[in-house]
Amino acid sequence: MKEKLERYRIFRILASIYRIKAVRLLIPIAVIGFVYWEGQRELRQISFGRTIGELRRLPASSVAEIFLFALFSVAVMSLYDFMIRRHFRLKVGVWSTFRYAWIANTFNNIIGFAGLTGAGLRTILYKRSGISPALMASAVVFLSPVVVTGLSILSWGIIFGWFTVGGLLQEHRWLVFAVWGMALYLPLFVLMQRSTLFAKWFNRGEGRTPWTTVGVSLSASFLEWACAGVTFWLITASVLHDVAFRDVIGMYSVAAIAGILSMAPGGIGAFDLTVLLGLEQMGFPSGRAMAVLVLFRLFYYIVPWLIGLILSAFELGSAAKRAGESADPATELPLNAWQRLWRWPGQFRFLSDLGAWALGKLVFISGIVLLLSAATPGLLYRLKLSEEILSMPIMRISHLLSVIIGFMLIILSRGISLRIRRAYVWTGILLLAGAIFTFTKAFDFEEAIFLLIVGVTLWLARSRFYRKGAAIDVRSYLMWYVLSAIIAVLYFWIGSHVHHGWLRHLPTADRIHWMFGPKPYAMTACIGLAGAWLLLTMLLLLRPNRRMAAGAGPEDLRKLRLFLQDHHGNLLTHMLFTGDKSFFWAREDQVLIPYARARDKLVVLGDPLGPTKLVPDAIAEFQQYADEYAMSVVFYQATPEFLPIYHEYGYRFFKLGEEALVHLENFTLSGKKAADLRSVRNRFEREGYLFEVVTPPFADALFAELKTVSDEWIRGRREKGFSLGWFDRIYLEEAPVALLKNPQGLILAFASLAPGYDEGRTMSIDLMRHRSGTPNGTMDYLFIKLLEWCKERGYQIFNLGNAPLSSVGESKSALREERLAALVFQYGGHWYGFKGLRRYKEKFAPEWEPRFLAYPNWVSLPVLTVDLVRLVSRRVREGGKR
């Protein structure tokens, strides 16, 4: 029962680590699923082709009017930022404030997560103007309850009858409670602003919010929602014509409330279905209603977000500045209770690389634009003009090449996000070619202009594309294969529905059927997909980062031996002779950093070797090298001496365990505490067991007997590596091996030694193997003799090895991950004898020295743990290769 309770405690701690993220994802998914289930009838009535037709019929003047007012509506949202700029006295320029507001608000509209995306971006953007993350965290949590107050005001308009919603509330009674709940938020907000609790949590303890600030907050929020509602009305009036302003604003307000309650990005799903239901009740067909939604999403969400992408691509970017920002100690300042609840400011650290991410998404969208342009025909008069000026073969080839380029841009967008130089070159060429071909296929100059704008944006940001390659594993490639296949299916589906829903009704449909019929769509989809897969296969086969993770060869090991003649090693230096680590020589070969690749991480074994004063610059040099391949640098089994250096580079720490170090000058078998060990030694010596230390090279017969002992001990299990040695003749002949023989001369056990390369001061134990059925105390006696042998030869410290998870998470204020590790240490004996190993080494009275995992703050510790387990457990082949 006790064991079950402890397992339950472990489960609870694990759940506490991930519950917030899971809830944020599951709630929107569940709501969208519910919305789809509720609205199946309405969704089945939608004709995509007819929707495209409705959009094509809009006059250019209406489109321009909607476009300009939508941009104005999004610009109004910047009032929030000017409000917190004034309230918190932020020293930020007006234009910078507007830019930051545009980027944060448009990204928040698209990605959402209950406002967390906008808050995270504000923290990062304002930091560029010298605003500390802790201060900005206070500002964004002050802003968080303000945003929906404008919608609350509109809800009171519905309740008092100023805005009408028809029979929407009568048919769907749950919306009544949603409207009332949103309306009651307004008085709650006012009371909250004037309370001492709000002043403590949200207002940085500066007292209650002044009435003027409350009024400004309400005005800013009301203007945002009112302008968004007017934008929606302009679109509805342009598409549907005979609609009343009161009806549209009322329906929009109810739909917005449903979208907010869904917690989905942009209210997608709940908002759209509510609008469809409302317009259906007004007597409008589903195709025209869907056209309203498409235009609203396009002009109020997508187009401003594209502008935000371009702004963010210029706003955020240089690798040096990003490195400086990630190491800023201001991010570690103490936070108040509300900030800790939302896990600020580290909630969205990945957004610090938003500049390259935005460029990648612009390229991805460029590929989608090309495919949509190919799937949906151009305006009829343009097709006629194309037929008169261009020949049909040119139009067909242009159409086909546009599809192929679209797929390739989608694939290359990942390389752009990773800032790979070759991806930049290829993308630039394809964007120019795509602009030409999309123009020659049907004079689609809008798409061509967009592609050229993206191309110019890439060219202006060309200095950011400095990487030679990136670590993308096979699973990521498989994901892109599947994604490209899904996009090909969607391309065929959209094109077919457009043809059947709209084109076939045109009087000249037979003339353009050759380019937009179902068979050409299927053909171009298959050819484009084949081109994308060919590009993916080339990228997979020509990955440029394989050499950076190659194991050390004979020349590298020779250089290592020469290096150790002039520089001290450490307790892990001997593991470098296994040949599975790569060597990075820094500071003109004065510092050695041994590492191995684990997915997208370069894991350094121990601390860098060389003069301590050169280590900080060597780490910076190695980080720059890793960054050229989109890698993160991790230090495994770091010692306390180097933690201040890692901290300066923004690293976090997780305690891995403790190293058992026996100070040989104090080691003795006399006294009461050593009675058991003394008894073991006397018994084995009395029975005639022999201890011997042999030095390489080893005779073939001796090595064969050692292999027999090793195979009997392993029993078919896989050898581990990286931080551990394994049974390999080349490696074993690098150091002496201690043997324990029975009276007949048969080897019962052996232990290989690992010198510390510190002028004979330290010796470590490496491999330990014994036959099955050996007498009790065999390994105790081997250790005793080894300690005495090293003491006689002047060694000062003998390293008994690591006790994993020892003394981890014992403090109540320890990290949750370390408290979980403490439970694993306490009750994980079923899988691994953590406590037993610690107790065994305690018999030799060692001094325990902690070992740490140092990792960048943007790396997920659970994911890193899995990568390290895989690294240590890689299959070992003959000669040390893995």
* pLDDT higher than 90, residue 595: yes
Beta-sheet pairing, 797-804 with 762-770: parallel
pLDDT value of position 563 = 92
| pLDDT tier for residue 322 given thresholds of 50, 70 and 90 | very low
User: Which span out of 342-351, 378-387, 764-773, 822-831 was modeled with the highest average pLDDT?
Assistant: 764-773
Q: In which band, very low, low, confident or very high, does the pLDDT at 69 lie, cut at 50, 70 and 90?
A: very high
Averaged pLDDT for residues 446-458: 83
Tokens 């014509």 correspond to what residue?
241
pLDDT computed for residue 736 by the predictor: 93
- Local confidence band at 608 (pLDDT 50, 70, 90 cut-offs): very high
Taking only the tens place, the pLDDT of each residue in 815-864 is: 666 656 555 545 444 444 556 677 888 888 889 898 898 999 888 787 88
Asked whether the beta carbons of 166 and 278 are under 8 A apart, the reply is: yes
Strands of 747-755's sheet in order across:
582-586, 591-598, 601-605, 632-638, 847-856, 651-663, 797-804, 762-770, 747-755, 737-741, 690-694
300-328: average pLDDT? 65
Rounded percentage of the chain residues whose pLDDT exceeds 70: 69
The percentage of the chain sitting over the pLDDT mark of 90, rounded to a whole number, equals 18
Query: In this predicted structure, what is the pLDDT of residue 822?
Result: 54
User: What confidence category does residue 288 fall into, taking pLDDT thresholds of 50, 70 and 90?
Assistant: confident
Nearest CA among 853, 849, 857, 847 for reference residue 872: 853
Residue type, 405: I
The number of beta carbons lying within 10 Å of the beta carbon of residue 545 is 18
Checking if the pLDDT of 461 tops 70, the result is yes
Whether 778 shows a pLDDT value over 60: the answer reads: yes
Of residues 433 and 476, the one with the higher pLDDT is: 433
- Average pLDDT score over the chain: 76
Residue 603, pLDDT above cutoff 70: yes
Residue with tokens 């050692």: 706
Q: What is the pLDDT of residues 712-748, one digit of tens each?
A: 888 877 787 788 888 888 889 989 999 999 988 899 9
pLDDT band at 198 (very low <50, low <70, confident <90, very high): low
- What lies within 8 Å, CB to CB, of 677 at 6+ separation is 669, 780, 784, 843, 844
> Between residues 329 and 173, which one has the greater pLDDT?
173
By CB atoms closer than 10 A (0-12, 13-18, 19+), residue 436 is middle
Bond from prior residue into 334 cis (ω within 30 degrees of 0)? no
Q: How many other C-beta atoms are found inside a 10 Å radius of the C-beta of residue 179?
A: 22
Q: Which pTM value belongs to this model?
A: 0.65
For residues 56 and 501, give the distance between their C-alpha atoms in angstroms, rounded to a whole number.
13
Strand partners, 592: 585, 609
| Cβ count within 10 A of residue 558 | 11
The two tokens of residue 517 are 């019929």
Domains and CATH numbers, the chain: 39-306+316-344 (no CATH), 359-536 (no CATH), 547-653 (3.40.630.30), 660-859 (3.40.630.30)
Q: For residue 66, count CB atoms less than 10 angstroms from its CB and return exposed for 0-12, middle for 13-18, buried for 19 or more.
A: buried
Distance CA 316, CA 312 (A): 6
